[in-house]
Amino acid sequence: MDHGYADQDHGQAPQPRPEAAAVAEQRVEVSVVVPAYNEASRLPKTLAAATAYLAAQPYSWELIVADDGSEDATPDIAAAAEAADPRVRHLRLPHRGKAAAVHAGVRAARGEVVVFTDADLSTPIEYVADVRRLIKSGFDVVIGTREGVGARRIGEPFYRHVMGRLYNYLVQLLAVPGIKDTQCGFKGFSGAAAREVFGSAWLYRNGAAPVRGPLVTGFDVELLFLARKRGLRVAELPVTWRHVDGSKVRPGIDSLLMVRDVVRVRWNDFRGRYGR
């Protein structure tokens, strides 16, 4: 499948390292996708924690850094991690926002279980074990939730909590009733469900127009709306979520973009773009 993101190289194609080629041919049980935009200050710690955890697991894995056109040292950090361990993959993408980066990373993933998580690991990487367990038990989609019994929010600014609750009321009213947290940046899919949901999405599926600065949107709502529409089994996984300084969320413009995306989901459905 042509993902449409990689720069075209009209010279001689680079030859993969033998160990990288061998890894590419192996069965991958778990793929972890980390979208990253200008994350040089946090990415080294994130990659160290994620690879240490995954390396201790009994299954095969890959870690994909979906680099959203970063302008700092993020590409160098990701490339160095890829060179050190062929199970780490660096996708160098044009800057089109988090949603486009997640789409590209998931489409490139080869795992039987595909998880995407934020670059600050505000939801600990150890929850991958719960996602894998729930997928193996028969669920198609597992979403981290910061609401309900067993969930915890640590250090979240009051204004962000209020904004999130107001936004969720709108989301439940228009798109996915009963799901109390669509925006937690930790979600998992079976490989088949990932292909089904991301392949059916309209918002940001081919990348938005080039943007400036961070771009946080409501693309998660479309994914969950499609999962429901396709009759997929969705599990809500209570998580401990910790607010980390340096968030890319802009309270004003991003809130408007997220509301716009919820309306676009309903409009796309009304027009029949998501099928029956």
Cα 261 from chain centre? 17
Full DSSP string of 111-177: -SEEEE--TT-SS-GGGHHHHHHHHHTT-SEEEEESSSTT-EEES--HHHHHHHHHHHHHHHHHT-T
Beta-strand relationship, 113-116 and 234-238: unpaired
Cβ neighbors of 56 (< 8 A, separation 6 or more) are none
**How many angstroms separate the CA atoms of 228 and 174, rounded?**
13
| Angle, CA 145 vertex, CA 142 and CA 149 arms, to 5° | 115
Q: Which residues are tagged catalytic?
A: 220
